[in-house]
Amino acid sequence: MAKNKIRGQLPTWIGQIVTLKILDFNTNEMWGGLPREYGNLRNLEEMQLWENDLTGFVPIEWRGLMKITFFGMGHLYITGNVPEWLFELPELRTAHFMRSQFIGPIPNLTKQLHNGIANVTDWDFSCNFLTGDYPTLFDKSLPMPNATINYYSNCFNNETDGSATINSNVNATENTPKNCSRTYNCPGFFEAKSSNFGNCAPCPPSQFVIDTTNCICGREMPSGVGASTFPAGIVVGGAIGGLAVAVFVVFLILMYRWKYEVKYPQFGRKYEGIDDPWNVPQELHRFTLNELEKATDNFSNKCCIGEGGFGTVYRGILVSGKVIAVKCASNASAQGQTEFRNELILLSRLHHRHLCPLEGFCDEDGLQILVYEFMENGDLHDNLFGRKSTSTLSAAQRREIIIGIARGLDHLHSFANPPVIHRDIKLSNVLLDHYNVAKLADFGISKVSPDLHTHVSTRPLGTMGYLDPDYFRTNQLTIASDVYAFGVVTLELVTGQRVFDMNRLEAVNLNDWVKLRFQEEGVRAILDKKLGDDYDEKMFTALTEVGLSCSITDRPDRPTMKEVLSILEPLAATYKPPKKEEHRWSTEYFKHKSLFKDNDTVARGNVEAGDSGSCSLENGRGGSTVPFDSFTTLHPR
């Protein structure tokens, strides 16, 4: 962390990193004392804190640094006596404490020299305020290393020429009492002056003693210090004026919060000062808060149609009569202003028949609101398992939906600029327009992927059942993670079964259940019973094989979405309505080499059933369903 202009105090939590070997904060603007917690760094080998405004004493807890070899503590404001234990550290080679505020005598090091302290190579206590007799312990009879030991420009009592009792490799120049007040040997050195705080050394410029016991300086003047510098009238008047300003500011903040926060407590905001002008994408409409309040009846509960990962979702009707879905960010999901604008730019660039484009947004008063056109036919989850499941999707519709999802994902992975990893493909994030054309939704959690292949995450993303199994091992989401989720969605559409079902005796997990039955009995054994005989065996066999291939556990064995389309689109082009006759199972398209690997075992463990929910709202056009966390724009056919 050297030379980064870091300001503030040294973090105490660093003392918990017991495996740390090098700590380097040199040449910054750090202030305050030396943390006692650093004494826990039993594996630390180097500590470099020089050229900061650090003050106080060297903590006695640091005597536990048994592996330290290098102390770089010069050009600081550390005071107190030189610790005797410093010379007892077994691995210490270099100790730089020059140009600081050390006082008192040098410890008697004869014992340490006899016990092997000769490992030292470089000691430097020059330009301090050391007193007492000049060290005479470096007697020629002792084993001295080829070392540099500097004590010049201190305040020792006895003058010496360095020839009688001082080993020749010890710099003993300018060690007379008169040099205590002279700085020409230490250019830029802070000269000692009298202090109002007992024995504490003067603080760095613009700092004050905040802890007289430990001589630690800080940025704020402590209570009672310097009060006599200004006339009482000025002090009292300034205090009253400052208090009045503070009260007024608090009043304005409370009024602002009352107007918005109390009125809409569920909304997240990011206050970042003045709203900087920016070029709003031409494709997006910048709604005013007043427009959306009118559309949603002031965001009333009766217009609320759900809550998802992004926040609360409302159904609204604009003055033009257009029905919209309004997604308001929660406090947890609100981003910084820059991040929110970057996401808007990304969303405005995504144009494809099978992607849900963004209609507009509102960022007034720090709000983060996304506006989509209300999707009339709801989401796939509601169509398969919810209120709309009574109206069965036909075999042809399911085929077109699967191919549509594949086209949308292929566009994100191969043609979007920059490429995008969706990260949460699932039934409730696939919406259907008036003509049941599939639209991928909820790009609010999508990830721009500069290199397309990998996104590292420190928190769970996606939905259980659709989440790439390899994510739990690597914490990485890739385009292959989207492919896995697509495979699961494909199997759900083919079978009409949920991802997890505790009532499935053969296997709770859908992927495992399909493998067992499809391998043994063919596509008829897994097909959604609601389809009856109205399906093409060849087509649904291919769809099943694709679903299984995409949801293989090992990432390298999964196809890309482009490879998936190369199989499905030719079949769709040559599709003919099925004849009402007995079907025969074929494995013609069952080609993937890793589909039934020996180590790809079937899970039969206890898994809690879980599925994505949706929230429905009746309207004048009949029942429409909108999922908690996904909405879209209606596209004319």
Looking at residue 185, its pLDDT comes to 58
Q: Domain check: are 294 and 389 in the same one?
A: no
pLDDT bucket at 264, cuts 50 / 70 / 90: low
Out of 30-39, 305-314, 413-422, 531-540, least confident range: 305-314
Residue where a domain stops, chosen among 354, 373, 392: 373
Which of 215 and 196 is assigned the larger pLDDT? 215
As a whole number, the mean pLDDT across the chain is: 74
Structure tokens at 184: 């020409």
Looking at residue 24, its pLDDT comes to 94
pLDDT bucket at 237, cuts 50 / 70 / 90: low
* Active-site annotation, residues: 424
Are 411 and 354 contacting, i.e. CB atoms less than 8 angstroms apart? Answer: yes
Contacts with 481 (C-beta within 8 Å, 6 or more apart), sequence order:
421, 423, 462, 467, 468, 470, 471
Q: Which CATH number do you get for residue 311?
A: 3.30.200.20
Residue where a domain stops, chosen among 188, 218, 248: 218
Looking at residue 211, its pLDDT comes to 75
Q: What is the dihedral of CA 315, 317, 323, 327, to 10 degrees?
A: -40
Q: How far is CA 305 from CA 314, 325, 328, 362, 522, in A?
A: 5, 9, 12, 19, 41
**304, β-bridge pairs:** 314
Looking at residue 203, its pLDDT comes to 80
Are 329 and 268 contacting, i.e. CB atoms less than 8 angstroms apart? Answer: yes
How many independent structural domains does the chain possess? Answer: 3
Which of 630 and 321 is assigned the larger pLDDT? 321
Which of 265 and 586 is assigned the larger pLDDT? 265
Structural domain contains residue 16: yes
Answer yes or no: is pLDDT of 138 > 60.
no
Structural domain contains residue 464: yes
Q: Domain check: are 185 and 303 in the same one?
A: no
Looking at residue 606, its pLDDT comes to 36
Structural domain contains residue 605: no
Mean pLDDT of 536-542: 92
Domain range for 571 is: 380-593+613-622
Q: What is the dihedral of CA 545, 472, 446, 312, to 10 degrees?
A: 110
Using CB atoms within 10 Å of the CB of residue 409, give its burial: 0 to 12 exposed, 13 to 18 middle, 19+ buried. Answer: buried
Percent of the chain with pLDDT over 90: 27
Answer yes or no: is pLDDT of 544 > 80.
yes
Out of 34-43, 126-135, 563-572, least confident range: 126-135
Measured distance CA(255)–CA(328) in Å, rounded: 22
Top mean-pLDDT range of 202-216, 473-487, 495-509, 540-554: 540-554
Top mean-pLDDT range of 183-192, 448-457, 480-489: 480-489
Measured distance CA(600)–CA(589) in Å, rounded: 20
pLDDT tens digits along 296-307: 999 998 998 777
Measured distance CA(225)–CA(227) in Å, rounded: 6
pLDDT tens digits along 98-110: 888 888 777 766 5
Out of 155-159, 179-183, 381-385, 418-422, least confident range: 179-183
Q: Domain check: are 389 and 343 in the same one?
A: no
Q: Domain check: are 488 and 566 in the same one?
A: yes
Looking at residue 598, its pLDDT comes to 39
DSSP 374: P
Q: Domain check: are 368 and 408 in the same one?
A: no
pLDDT bucket at 567, cuts 50 / 70 / 90: very high
Residue where a domain stops, chosen among 352, 373, 394: 373
Answer yes or no: is pLDDT of 597 > 60.
no
pTM: 0.51
Structural domain contains residue 157: yes
Give buried/exposed letters for 196-231 (b at 16+ CB in 10 A, else e): ebeebbbbbeebbbbbeebbbbbeeeeeeeeeeeee
pLDDT tens digits along 208-234: 777 777 777 876 554 444 434 445 554
Structure tokens at 155: 């305040």
Structural domain contains residue 636: no
Structural domain contains residue 256: no
Cite the beta strand spans of 117-213 per DSSP E.
Answer: 122-124, 129-130, 148-150, 170-171, 208-211
Q: Domain check: are 213 and 316 in the same one?
A: no
**What 3-state class would DSSP assign to 431?**
strand
Q: Domain check: are 356 and 409 in the same one?
A: no
Tell me, what amino acid is at 536?
D
Measured distance CA(220)–CA(208) in Å, rounded: 6
DSSP 513: H
pLDDT tens digits along 493-520: 999 999 998 888 888 899 999 999 999 9
pLDDT bucket at 636, cuts 50 / 70 / 90: very low
Tell me, what amino acid is at 6?
I
Out of 362-366, 390-394, 580-584, least confident range: 580-584
Looking at residue 565, its pLDDT comes to 96
Q: Which CATH number do you get for residue 97?
A: 3.80.10.10
Q: Domain check: are 510 and 617 in the same one?
A: yes
Using CB atoms within 10 Å of the CB of residue 98, give its burial: 0 to 12 exposed, 13 to 18 middle, 19+ buried. Answer: buried
Q: Domain check: are 115 and 192 in the same one?
A: yes
Mean pLDDT of 114-122: 60
Is 591 assigned to a binding site? no
Measured distance CA(463)–CA(584) in Å, rounded: 36
Q: Which CATH number do you get for residue 477?
A: 1.10.510.10
Answer yes or no: is pLDDT of 586 > 60.
no
Answer yes or no: is pLDDT of 459 > 50.
no
Residues in the chain: 637
Measured distance CA(535)–CA(24) in Å, rounded: 69
Percent of the chain with pLDDT over 70: 66
Q: Domain check: are 327 and 473 in the same one?
A: no
pLDDT bucket at 343, cuts 50 / 70 / 90: confident
First-to-last C-alpha distance (Å) of the chain:
58
Structural domain contains residue 134: yes
Mean pLDDT of 527-550: 92
Which of 313 and 528 is assigned the larger pLDDT? 528
Looking at residue 609, its pLDDT comes to 36
Contacts with 139 (C-beta within 8 Å, 6 or more apart), sequence order:
165, 167
Q: Domain check: are 352 and 387 in the same one?
A: no
Are 18 and 40 contacting, i.e. CB atoms less than 8 angstroms apart? Answer: yes
Measured distance CA(548)–CA(594) in Å, rounded: 10
Tell me, what amino acid is at 612?
S
Structural domain contains residue 630: no
Looking at residue 174, its pLDDT comes to 46
Out of 155-169, 238-252, 439-453, least confident range: 155-169
Strands 208-211 and 304-307: unpaired
Top mean-pLDDT range of 240-244, 444-448, 530-534: 530-534
- R_g (Cα) of the chain, nearest Å: 36
Mean pLDDT of 540-544: 95
pLDDT bucket at 615, cuts 50 / 70 / 90: very low
Q: Domain check: are 213 and 289 in the same one?
A: no
Answer yes or no: is pLDDT of 145 > 70.
no
Are 255 and 330 contacting, i.e. CB atoms less than 8 angstroms apart? Answer: no
pLDDT bucket at 608, cuts 50 / 70 / 90: very low
Which of 555, 500, 492 has the alpha carbon at shortest distance from 528?
Answer: 492
